[in-house]
Amino acid sequence: MKEISRIASAVVASTTLAVDALAKQMKAEGKDVLVFATGEPDFDKPERIKAAAIEAIKSGQTKYTAAAGLPALRKAAADRINADCGLNYAPEEIVVASGAKHSIFAALMALLNPGDEAIIPAPYWVTYTEAVKMCGGVPVIVEAKESASFKITAEQLEAAVTDKTKLLILNNPSNPTGMLYSREELRALADVCVRHDLYVIADEVYYRLVYDNKQFTSFAALGDEVRERTILVNGVSKSYAMTGWRIGFTASPRHLATVMANYLSHSTSAPATMSQYAAIEALSGPQDDVEAMRKVFEERRNVIYRRINAIDGVSCILPDGAFYVMLNIAGLKGKKLGGRVIRDADDFALAFLETSSVATVSCVGFGAPDFVRFSYATSMETIEKGMDRLEAFIRSAE
C-alpha cells in the first residue's frame, strides 16, 4: 500500500477530547468519576438562546447560508466585540466558522505557506501545534515559565524570530494557564510583531472570563498597525456555554476575511444554520447571564486555588481568567503514586484517574510536562470532592 499523508500521520490526537471521551465512558460504566478535564462550561445555556434555535427550525431557517455566515450573525459578532473591546470591525470583516478551533484553521490556512514558522508560547493549547503542522507550517515554541506567570516577554519573542517567521499565536486569557497579559505587556509584544512584519492570531475566546476586576485588552485594539496584521478569534462556546453548537468567528482586515471565507466555502460550506440563529441571540440579547457565570467561575477559582495550595507537595499560581488552573507536580517526580513512578504529568494524570477516578489533563501535550490542568468549569461540590481526593492521593506518595 502507498504511504498515507505524512502531514496527517504526524498529527497527535487531541488530549483534551481523548480524556473527555474516556471520562464519559467511565461514567457510563457506572464509575464515580469526577471530571476536571475538558474546558466546557457545566451551565445550561440561557433559555432565550434555545428558543432562537427552535424558532429557526420551526420557521424553516434550515438551508445553507453564505460561507462566511449569516449577515445578521456577522453584524451581531462585530457589534459585540466592538462594544466590549473598543474595536471597529465592519460585519464584512467577520467570518463565521464551525467553532473557534475551525476559525484558527481558517486563519492558518489564510496565512501559512509551506515551511513558514509560527511562534507559539508554551504552555499552549494542545491544538495550536497540530493545526500549524496540518497547515504546512512549523511550530516554534517559546517557553513561558511559571515564575514569569506563564507569560513570554518581548525579548523572548524577538529572540525566536527568524526570516521564516510568519506569525505569532497568542491566547489571552490563556488556556491552559488562565493568565492574562496586561495592555503594556501586549504593547511590547505588538512592537516586535510590527517591527518584524509578523501576523498575529489572537485567540480571545475566554475574554469574558476575567477575575479580580482585571482589565482585558484585545490585541487588535492596540492601534491600526497592529489591527491590520491581526486575525482575532472568538466564539460563543465559552461565554455562553454553547460548546456543542460549534460557532466561532474571526475579525480581520477584509482581504484576509475573503481568503478565509473562500477556504470555508470548500470545507464546511457554512456552520449549521440553526446554530447561527442561536448565536445571533447569544451575542445580541441581554448579557446578564454571562456576568452571572463569570462570578460563579471566580468563586470556584478561589476555592480550587486555596485547596491546592493547602496540600504539601503540589502548588498552583492564581489564574487571572478562563477556567483552568495549573497544578505543579514537579515536587512529586521520582515518587510512586498509585503504583506508578511519576516521571511527568502523563504519569500523574493516569495514576490519579486509575486510583482516585479523577479526570484531569496532562500538560505534556501542552508543552508543560511538569503541570496538570484542572478545569474548574464544574460544580463546587465536584471541586470540593476532587480536592479531597487529590489530598488523599498525594498523601499516599511513597
Min dist CB 125 to ligand GLU, Å, is 6
* Strand partners of residue 169: 201
CA distance 75 to 90: 7
Q: Which is nearer to ligand GLU, 217 or 375 (CB)?
A: 375
Min dist CB 177 to ligand GLU, Å, is 12
Q: Which is nearer to ligand GLU, 182 or 268 (CB)?
A: 268
CA distance 367 to 385: 28
SS (H, E, C) 311-346: CCCCECCCCCECCEEEEECHHHCCCEECCEECCCHH
CA distance 393 to 336: 11
Min dist CB 304 to ligand GLU, Å, is 16
CA distance 41 to 240: 8
Stretch that binds ligand GLU, among 10-18, 56-64, 164-172, 246-254 (CB under 6 A): 10-18
**246 scored as a contact of ligand GLU (CB under 6 A):** no
Q: Does residue 301 contact residue 144 with C-beta atoms inside 8 Å?
A: no
**The residue type at 83:** A
Residue with grid cell 448579557, as numbered in its chain: 287
Q: Which is nearer to ligand GLU, 127 or 360 (CB)?
A: 127
Min dist CB 187 to ligand GLU, Å, is 27
Q: 342: which 3 cell numbers?
A: 511519576
* Binding residue (CB under 6 A) for ligand GLU from 74, 80, 101, 246: 101
> Got the DSSP string for 159-172?
HH--TTEEEEEEES
Q: What track of x and - describes contact with ligand GLU for positions 165 through 194 (by CB under 6 A)? A: ----------x-------------------
108 SS3 class: helix
Q: Which residue is nearest to ligand GLU (CB)?
A: 39
CA distance 137 to 365: 18
Min dist CB 361 to ligand GLU, Å, is 7
Q: 161: which 3 cell numbers?
A: 524570530
Min dist CB 31 to ligand GLU, Å, is 21
Q: State the Rg of the chain over Cα.
A: 21
E strand or H helix that includes residue 118:
strand 117-122
Q: 76: which 3 cell numbers?
A: 451581531
Q: Which is nearer to ligand GLU, 74 or 101 (CB)?
A: 101
Residues of this chain, 355-394, that bind ligand GLU according to CB under 6 A: none
- Count residues binding ligand GLU (CB under 6 A): 9
Q: Does residue 355 contact residue 31 with C-beta atoms inside 8 Å?
A: no
Stretch that binds ligand GLU, among 11-19, 142-150, 192-200, 312-320 (CB under 6 A): 11-19
**The residue type at 135:** C
Q: What track of x and - describes contact with ligand GLU for positions 118 through 157 (by CB under 6 A)? A: -------x-x------------------------------
Q: 298: which 3 cell numbers?
A: 471566580
Residues of this chain, 12-71, that bind ligand GLU according to CB under 6 A: 14, 16-17, 38-39
Q: Which is nearer to ligand GLU, 305 or 374 (CB)?
A: 374
Q: Which is nearer to ligand GLU, 198 or 353 (CB)?
A: 353
Q: Does residue 205 contact residue 251 with C-beta atoms inside 8 Å?
A: no
List contacts with ligand GLU (CB under 6 A). 14, 16-17, 38-39, 101, 125, 127, 175
